[in-house]
């Protein structure tokens, strides 16, 4: 998390990273406490059996601590903390550490090595799981701190506003941010879909990620961070500090109530959900519905496929919590970055381009038909409609086949995610086969730019403000209008309040975000009418890059 000391950057230097959460903040820089370091030369403990038991106790205590924090965190952070706690309880992690202890490695170092082996395996899988390496390392650091009897890594309470910097932030670090003294985030690593980016947007904290030079700024130096442009000025001149102090700290603002534009057009603001707990919290928190239920996240740690009854019962609880509000269930998006242990797909040279999402149904048709049957049963028992969409649809023919299966399963509405450029280019044909579409800008950007969405160094290409990506969204918006098909956006792009205005201008009829991001998006939409949304969309598409698009739209929205 914390890097070694580097020569401090000179006053006035402007560093550049990737702005992932808009707003500006000016405050002294604080660094996360360094994680404990272990070595093979550390003193060996008692016998192997006792040391293995100590490891199990430490992992269990870390999991319990994370679960306790999940209990009091906001819904977005709670889901992340629960998933991290599950890593600490993963028996393969403990087993790998035990094996090393039995070979003579001291307990704390055995955990470090086991964690690194785990991370290497995740990195090999790429995508979503590769990004989880930060979470696994965090579990490792906390476990090691317990074994060594030292303080866990993290931010000591500074007692005054700070810009928090680190190599990258773990879920546990980010979960502690709400209500803390941290006014902005700056990380050396990370891309637009990293936890730092997602949680920063959810909390409305300005954030810049992928800024390697952040390691060179001296702790305590005042920095002026702009989460829109991705710039960080070290020791800014007094005039710039005064101007920053005069601006509101975090730009987006908040508004509750249903999503609508200033001229009254309804734009339902739905929630992206990955756990049952998140769903129940979102329902209780007044969410307008679920726009993306990532069902594969419910089963990532399962060794065997969930039964139809299990799937039905879990969905039924979620449906009941949402009453008559819209719920869009995505069928298992397995493979590539989200391999499911119970779904063997074999080795692939390019998993992101291989058998994933709906494509897994060709080899395992029963998984899809069982899931659809479970959804239909839950809908029937709840006495309400449910929308079901498939991930990774490339052609209208695939969408048509999926829609047929959905409709055969019961009175369900069929949808297609648009996250492959081919699907966007032929959106009109595709829209004619389904009841709705939902644009997954995370994958759409990845495939459009041929840029792995988890690689921080490719952040510029993956920026959701890329005009080429907005062109594709615009094509889908036009297809939706022409065919009368509702067009949702459920990728991370929808959580950026100013980009949300652009997406509506491009034809999005609903948006789905992390629950904590919705009020900021609602506030942005409430300030602008549909004509302004369209003008913002035109300006963004006409720009020659993401930074120019952001700047042009920010200038327009400030004036209107």
Closer by beta carbon to ligand PEP, 287 or else 442:
442
The verdict on 173 binding Mg ion (CB under 5 A) reads: no
Contact 155, 30 (CB under 8 A): yes
340 vs 33, 89, 195, 292, 357, CA distance in Å? 35, 17, 21, 19, 11
Q: How far is the CB of 74 from Mg ion (least distance, A)?
A: 24
Contact 546, 466 (CB under 8 A): yes
Closer by beta carbon to ligand PEP, 105 or else 441:
441
Any catalytic annotation for residue 211? no
Q: How far is the CB of 338 from ligand PEP (least distance, A)?
A: 8
Binding mask 33-62 for Mg ion (x = CB under 5 A): ------------------------------
Q: DSSP letter string over 482-502?
A: HHT--EEE-SGGGGSHHHHHH
Closer by beta carbon to ligand PEP, 250 or else 393:
393
Closer by beta carbon to ligand PEP, 294 or else 518:
294
Sign of the Cα torsion 431, 468, 253, 131 reads positive
The verdict on 335 binding Mg ion (CB under 5 A) reads: no
Whose CB is nearest to ligand PEP?
440
Q: Which of 109, 195, 364, 528 is catalytic?
A: 195
Contact 301, 86 (CB under 8 A): yes
- Alpha-carbon distance 315 to 318, whole Å? 5
Give the position of tokens 């949680």. 199
Q: How far is the CB of 360 from ligand PEP (least distance, A)?
A: 14
3-state helix, strand, coil in the chain (%, to 5): 50, 15, 35
Of these partners, ligand PEP, Mg ion, none, which one is at the site of residue 377 (CB under 5 to 8 Å by kind)? none
Q: How far is the CB of 435 from ligand PEP (least distance, A)?
A: 19
Q: How far is the CB of 193 from ligand PEP (least distance, A)?
A: 7
Taking the CA atoms of residue 473, residue 476, residue 481 and residue 485 in that order, the dihedral angle to the nearest 10 degrees is -120
Q: Parallel, antiparallel, or unpaired for β 162-166 and 387-390?
A: unpaired
Q: How far is the CB of 88 from ligand PEP (least distance, A)?
A: 23
The verdict on 192 binding Mg ion (CB under 5 A) reads: no
When binding is defined by CB under 5 A, the residue of 135, 138, 443, 463 that contacts Mg ion is 443
- Alpha-carbon distance 543 to 498, whole Å? 15
DSSP annotation of 455 reads -
DSSP element (H, E) containing 550: helix 546-559
The verdict on 440 binding Mg ion (CB under 5 A) reads: yes
Closer by beta carbon to ligand PEP, 54 or else 330:
330
- Burial class for 323, CB neighbours closer than 10 Å (0-12, 13-18, 19+): exposed
Binding region for ligand PEP (CB under 6 A): 292, 294, 333, 419, 440-443, 490-491
Of these partners, ligand PEP, Mg ion, none, which one is at the site of residue 294 (CB under 5 to 8 Å by kind)? ligand PEP
Q: Which part of the chain contacts Mg ion (CB under 5 A), choosing from 61-69, 152-160, 319-327, 437-445?
A: 437-445
The verdict on 337 binding Mg ion (CB under 5 A) reads: no
Closer by beta carbon to ligand PEP, 231 or else 442:
442
Any catalytic annotation for residue 490? yes
Binding mask 110-139 for Mg ion (x = CB under 5 A): ------------------------------
Give the position of tokens 């009854």. 309
3-state secondary structure of 184: strand
Neighbour-count burial for 6-20, b at 16+ CB within 10 Å, e otherwise? eeebeeebebebbbb
Q: Which part of the chain contacts Mg ion (CB under 5 A), choosing from 99-107, 364-372, 442-450, 482-490?
A: 442-450
Closer by beta carbon to ligand PEP, 333 or else 463:
333
The verdict on 274 binding Mg ion (CB under 5 A) reads: no
Q: Which of 52, 490, 528, 533 is catalytic?
A: 490
Chain centroid to Cα 459, Å, comes to 14
Q: How far is the CB of 408 from ligand PEP (least distance, A)?
A: 25
Other CB atoms within a 10 A radius of the CB of residue 41 amount to 8
- Alpha-carbon distance 538 to 519, whole Å? 25
Residues that bind Mg ion (CB under 5 A): 419, 440, 443
Which residues are known catalytic residues? 195, 490
């Amino acid at each position: 998390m914390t890097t070694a000391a580097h020569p401090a950057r000179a006053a006035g230097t402007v560093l550049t990273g990737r702005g992932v959460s808009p707003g500006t903040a000016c405050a002294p820089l604080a660094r996360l406490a360094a994680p404990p370091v272990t070595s093979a030369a550390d003193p060996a403990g008692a016998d192997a059996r006792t040391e293995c038991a100590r490891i199990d106790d430490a992992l269990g205590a870390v999991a319990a601590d994370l679960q306790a924090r999940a209990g009091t965190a906001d819904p977005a952070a709670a889901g992340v903390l629960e998933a991290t706690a599950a890593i600490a309880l993963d028996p393969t992690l403990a087993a790998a550490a035990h094996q090393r202890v039995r070979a003579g490695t001291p307990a704390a170092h055995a955990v470090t090595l086991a964690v690194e082996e785990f991370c290497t395996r995740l990195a090999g899988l790429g995508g979503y799981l590769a990004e989880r390496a930060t979470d696994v390392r965090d579990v490792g650091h906390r476990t090691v701190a317990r074994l060594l009897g030292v303080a866990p890594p993290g931010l000591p309470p500074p007692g005054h506003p700070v810009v928090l910097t680190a190599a990258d932030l773990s879920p546990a670090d980010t979960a502690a941010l709400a209500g803390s003294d941290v006014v902005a985030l700056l990380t050396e690593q990370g891309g637009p879909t990293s936890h730092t980016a997602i949680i920063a947007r959810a909390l409305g904290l300005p954030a810049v990620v992928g800024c390697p030079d952040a390691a060179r700024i001296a702790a305590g130096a005042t920095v002026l961070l702009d989460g829109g442009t991705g710039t960080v000025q070290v020791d800014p001149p007094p005039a710039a500090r005064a101007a920053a102090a005069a601006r509101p700290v975090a730009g987006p603002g908040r508004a509750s109530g249903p999503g609508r534009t200033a001229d009254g057009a309804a734009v339902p603001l739905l929630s992206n959900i990955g756990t049952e707990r998140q769903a129940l919290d979102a329902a209780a928190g007044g969410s307008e519905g679920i726009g993306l239920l990532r069902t594969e996240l419910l089963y990532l740690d399962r060794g065997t496929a969930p039964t139809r009854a299990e799937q039905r019962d879990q969905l039924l609880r979620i449906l009941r919590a949402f009453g008559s509000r819209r719920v869009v269930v995505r069928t298992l998006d397995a493979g590539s970055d989200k391999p499911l242990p119970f779904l063997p797909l074999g080795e692939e040279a390019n998993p992101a381009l291989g058998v994933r999402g709906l494509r897994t149904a060709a080899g395992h048709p029963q998984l899809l038909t069982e899931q659809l049957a479970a959804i239909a049963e839950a809908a029937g028992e709840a006495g309400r409609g449910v929308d079901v969409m498939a991930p990774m649809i490339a052609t209208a023919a695939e969408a048509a086949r999926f829609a047929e299966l959905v409709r055969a399963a019961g009175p369900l509405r069929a949808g297609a995610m648009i996250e492959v450029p081919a699907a966007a280019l032929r959106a009109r044909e595709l829209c004619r086969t389904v009841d709705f579409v939902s644009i997954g800008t995370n994958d759409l950007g990845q495939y459009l730019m041929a840029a792995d969405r988890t690689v921080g160094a490719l952040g510029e290409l993956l920026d959701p403000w890329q005009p080429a990506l907005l062109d594709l969204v615009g094509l889908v918006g036009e297809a939706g209008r022409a065919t009368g098909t509702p067009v949702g956006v459920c990728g991370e792009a929808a959580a950026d309040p100013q980009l949300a205005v652009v997406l509506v201008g491009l034809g999005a009829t609903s948006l789905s975000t992390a629950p904590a991001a919705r009020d900021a998006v609602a506030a942005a939409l409430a300030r602008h009418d549909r004509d302004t949304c369209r003008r913002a969309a035109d300006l963004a598409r006409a720009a020659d890059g993401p930074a120019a698009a952001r700047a042009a739209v920010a200038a327009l929205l400030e004036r209107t």
